[in-house]
Amino acid sequence: MKTILIICSVLLVITSLLLIATVLLHKGRGGGISDMFGGGLSTSMRSSGVAERNLNRITIGVAITWFIVIALIGLITKFGG
């Protein structure tokens, strides 16, 4: 059980970093932190609609994986002893 917990913990760290990266790659919608750092000036040059949709799919996939790993860690710690 300890090996599975270690694997899940490593997977949690990897998916957490990927989730942070994919969320930060999204195009700013205006009026937020992205505009503060110049994001409003380069919104037309950043990405097309297809790239944004693919990034949305990747972000959702990573978020679902992250949630499943957290649930597995919770179940292992509760029932694994």
Backbone angles phi, psi at 75, to 5 degrees: -70, -40
- Kindly report the pTM of this predicted structure: 0.74
Top-ranked range on mean pLDDT: pick from 19-28, 35-44, 52-61: 52-61
> How far apart (Å, rounded) are the C-alpha atoms in residues 76 and 2?
9
The predicted-structure confidence for 30-52, as pLDDT tens digits, reads as follows: 655 555 565 555 555 555 688 88
What kind and span of H or E run contains 12?
helix 2-25
> How far apart (Å, rounded) are the C-alpha atoms in residues 45 and 29?
14
User: What one-letter code names the amino acid at 47?
Assistant: S
pLDDT for 4: 92
